[in-house]
Amino acid sequence: MIKPFSFHLKKELKNHLLDYLLLITAGIFFLILLNIFRGQRIIEFIVLVSFALFYIIWGVYHHIINETLHLKTVVEYILIAFIIIFLLKIIILP
Amino acid sequence: MERVKNFIHHLFIPHEENNFRAKSLHTDFLTVYLVIAFLMTIIFKQANLHNVLGFATDISVDKLYQLINEQRQKNNLPSLSLNSSLSLAAQKKAENMFQENYWSHYAPDGKTPWDFILGANYKYEYAGENLAKNFLFSNGVVDAWMNSSTHRENILKKEYTEVGYAIVNGTLNGEQTTLVIQMFGTPLASSFVSQPVQANKTIQNIPIENKPQQVLAKKTYQPKINAFNFSFNLNIVFMAFLLVALALDFYFASKFNIIRIGGKNTAHFLFIIFVLAGLFLSTIGTII
């Protein structure tokens, strides 16, 4: 039987529940801060960079406790974080 | 056709030939995306995407005017005509808001919207004003106004026949802002009492002088607006591409029980979703 996407997603979230809860909490906090500082472009950008840095740290922490940390993994988190920062900089701080 | 299919398969589905990771998520591809994103920031900066004050928006008088009239037509009301005197009044109001540093219908010195309308030599029977700031798109401004009962009432007021706009950039309370001023009016047929309506408020009578009218309604930043819209859509498309690549890679890796070295797709997915939500949140401004 083919298991749906949601099955695999739930399984992954369940296996690392606390880690993902931490990431989701940070994400919600990021949205709340953006809402508070809406229109203040420099602060919005600082909030975005902070969230991206948190995401890199989260990635490193998550892979350390799962004993799967590898340089390639860290580079992947850094690359994704900075792609997003540069893309959003065009919108927030052109 | 077969080659295209193989290419897409290689790009999105983890298998032996791409080292069990979607090629579009390999470190070399991610590095290319990063370089492209970095170059885009430089290109858009060089292309002067932003206005003088460094704040980019896709708000234009033409679009606001079109959307407002669409709303009126939906409600079986006649379209408003664009009036240059009302646009001049809106422009003066915006300039005053930046000079006096206030975000209100009334200036700290007690100046009312009607003073600006009368100051632009517009003799009115009815007049009204809607304000918005920090929006990125014309649609967002009109949607916010339509969702507010008092602003909606202004837009759908059957007595109004004319409208004027000003979209002005400046610094308000230390923050770079795009102000949108919308002024409604019904010209006075004869010289009797003026009756202004600003979100259901106030009445005034003020003597009027005649001055030549100026056309300010077309004073927008059209070329920059298109570039901004393009960059915004490009962001959305690129993030959607990343989300699709991550979702497919995650699904097939889970389905085939592939164990590999690399970041967690679920984490990347959540990160991008939150950033996208934040991007949409930043398009919402404030109205009064």
Instruction: Judge whether A10 is closer than 8 Å to chain B, CB to CB.
Output: no
Give pLDDT tens digits for B99-150: 999 989 999 999 999 999 999 999 999 999 999 988 888 888 999 999 999 9
Kindly state the average pLDDT of the residues B25-36: 94
CA distance A59 to A51: 12
Q: What is the 3-state secondary structure (H, E, C) of B11-58?
A: HHCCCHHHCCCCHHHCHHHHHHHHHHHHHHHHHHHHCCCCCCCCCCCE
The answer on pLDDT for B209 being more than 60 is no
Q: Quote the tokens at residue B82.
A: 């664009």
Tell me the nearest-neighbour CA distance from A33 into chain B, angstroms: 10
Instruction: Judge whether B250 is closer than 8 Å to chain A, CB to CB.
Output: yes
Kindly state the average pLDDT of the residues B260-275: 91
Q: Residue B122: which of B29, B178, B194 has the closest Cα?
A: B194
List the single best residue of A86, A89, A92 to mutate versus B (max B Cβ within 10 A). Answer: A86
Using CA coordinates, name the residue in chain A closest to B264.
A59
Give percent of chain B with pLDDT exceeding 70: 82
Name the DSSP letter for residue B156.
Answer: T
C-alpha distance from residue B222 to each of B51, B59, B170, B216, B219 (Å): 11, 9, 18, 14, 9
The answer on pLDDT for B225 being more than 70 is no
**Which residue type occupies B253?**
A
**Which residue type occupies B120?**
A
A44–B282 CB contact, under 8 Å: yes
> What ipTM did this prediction achieve?
0.95
Mean pLDDT, rounded, of chain B: 82
Q: How confident is the model at residue B226 (pLDDT cuts 50, 70, 90)?
A: low
Sign of CA dihedral A11, A12, A17, A23: negative
Instruction: Judge whether B267 is closer than 8 Å to chain A, CB to CB.
Output: yes
Measured between beta carbons, the chain B residues lying within 8 angstroms of A63 are 263
Report the 10 Å Cβ neighbour count for B53. Answer: 12
A86–B44 CB contact, under 8 Å: no
What lies within 8 Å, CB to CB, of A86 at 6+ separation is: B34, B37, B38, B40, B41
Using CA coordinates, name the residue in chain B closest to A91.
B232
C-alpha distance from residue B201 to each of A60, B57, B160, B197, B248 (Å): 58, 30, 15, 5, 56
If DSSP codes are grouped into helix, strand and coil, which group holds residue B287?
strand
Report the 10 Å Cβ neighbour count for B152. Answer: 16
Which ranges in chain B belong to alpha helices (H)? Answer: 2-12, 27-46, 61-74, 84-100, 113-119, 138-146, 149-155, 222-255, 265-281
B37 closest CB neighbour out of A3, A40, A86: A86
Contact B91, B219 (CB under 8 A): yes
The answer on pLDDT for B224 being more than 60 is no
List the single best residue of B226, B275, B284 to mutate versus A (max A Cβ within 10 A). Answer: B275
If DSSP codes are grouped into helix, strand and coil, which group holds residue B82?
strand
A90 closest CB neighbour out of B33, B44, B175: B44
Residue B93, burial from CB neighbour count under 10 angstroms (0-12, 13-18, 19+) = buried
Measured between beta carbons, the chain A residues lying within 8 angstroms of B52 are none
B134 closest CB neighbour out of A27, A34, A38: A38
Q: Which residues share a beta bridge with B183? A: B129, B164
Measured between beta carbons, the chain A residues lying within 8 angstroms of B266 are 9, 12-13, 20
**Size of chain A, expressed as the number of residues it contains:** 94
**Which residue type occupies B141?**
V
Q: Residue B156: which of B199, B206, B105 has the closest Cα?
A: B199
Sign of CA dihedral B20, B25, B27, B29: positive
Sign of CA dihedral B199, B200, B206, B209: positive
**For position A93, what pLDDT does the model report?**
75
List the single best residue of B36, B264, B265, B266 to mutate versus A (max A Cβ within 10 A). Answer: B264
Q: Quote the tokens at residue B114.
A: 């009607």
**For position B227, what pLDDT does the model report?**
67
B41 closest CB neighbour out of A38, A40, A90: A90
Mean pLDDT, rounded, of chain A: 91
Give pLDDT tens digits for B173-195: 777 788 999 999 999 874 444 45
**For position B233, what pLDDT does the model report?**
84
Contact B272, B89 (CB under 8 A): no
Instruction: Judge whether A60 is closer than 8 Å to chain B, CB to CB.
Output: no
**For position B55, what pLDDT does the model report?**
55
**For position B258, what pLDDT does the model report?**
86
User: Phi/psi of residue B126, each to 5°?
Assistant: -130, 145
CA distance B213 to B129: 19
Give pLDDT tens digits for A38-60: 777 788 899 999 999 999 999 99
Name the B residues in 70-129 with CB < 8 Å from any A CB: none
Measured between beta carbons, the chain A residues lying within 8 angstroms of B27 are 72, 75-76, 79
Q: Greater confidence, B57 or B275?
A: B275
Q: Greater confidence, B287 or B86?
A: B86
B264 closest CB neighbour out of A62, A75, A84: A62
Element (H, E) at B286: strand B286-287
**Which range is least confidently modeled, A46-50, B43-47, B79-83?**
B43-47
**For position B122, what pLDDT does the model report?**
92
Chain position carrying tokens 């916010």: B144
